[in-house]
Amino acid sequence: MQYTSTKPTIYLIDGLNLVRSFLYEFARSEEEVTADFLDFLEEISCCECYQMHTYEVIFDGSFRPVGPLYRGGVHISFTEGDSADQIICERAEFLARSGRRVIAVTDDRELQTTLKEIGVKSLFCRKFYNSLKLPEK
């Protein structure tokens, strides 16, 4: 089933939420899962069928080394004193009011409800991840 948009979209991704949703499945450290996800997302963002999208990965907390903060169509940021939920909500509302197509990626049901009230779509982390497919080489 297709969950990623066929129209240019800005995906606001709750980075820690997504990483932690896979942490126990792979029995690896949070840093390793984070690095793998960001590498995968960078590769996806360079594929022709996904190049039209922008992926903003927002991590709770202060800066920590994750590699380049800009890679392909991926931008990585840290919330410092705010929560990723708050940043995602504010950014989503601003983008939607500016006429941009935006989808939030989070498993936080409260955030999803708030976003729905302001007219912004959301996807669960696993649905988003499972919808991304690298083309066969």
- Please write the tens of the pLDDT for every residue from 96-110: 999 999 999 999 999
- The arithmetic mean of pLDDT across residues 43-56, rounded, is 90
- The arithmetic mean of pLDDT across residues 124-128, rounded, is 90
Q: Residue 22 pLDDT > 90, yes or no?
A: no
Q: Tell me, yes or no, if the pTM score tops 0.85.
A: yes
Q: Which residue has the higher pLDDT, 29 or 82?
A: 82
**Percent of the chain at pLDDT above 90?**
53
What are the residues facing 76 on neighbouring strands? 57
pLDDT digits (tens, 9 = 90+) for 113-122: 999 999 999 9
Task: For each of the domains in the chain, give its residue range(s) and CATH number, in order of start.
Answer: 10-131 (3.40.50.1010)
What is residue 4's predicted lDDT score, i.e. its pLDDT? Answer: 63
What radius of gyration, in Å, describes the C-alpha atoms of the chain? 14
Which residues fall within 8 angstroms of residue 7, CB to CB, at 6 or more apart? 52, 101
Q: Residue 58 pLDDT > 90, yes or no?
A: yes
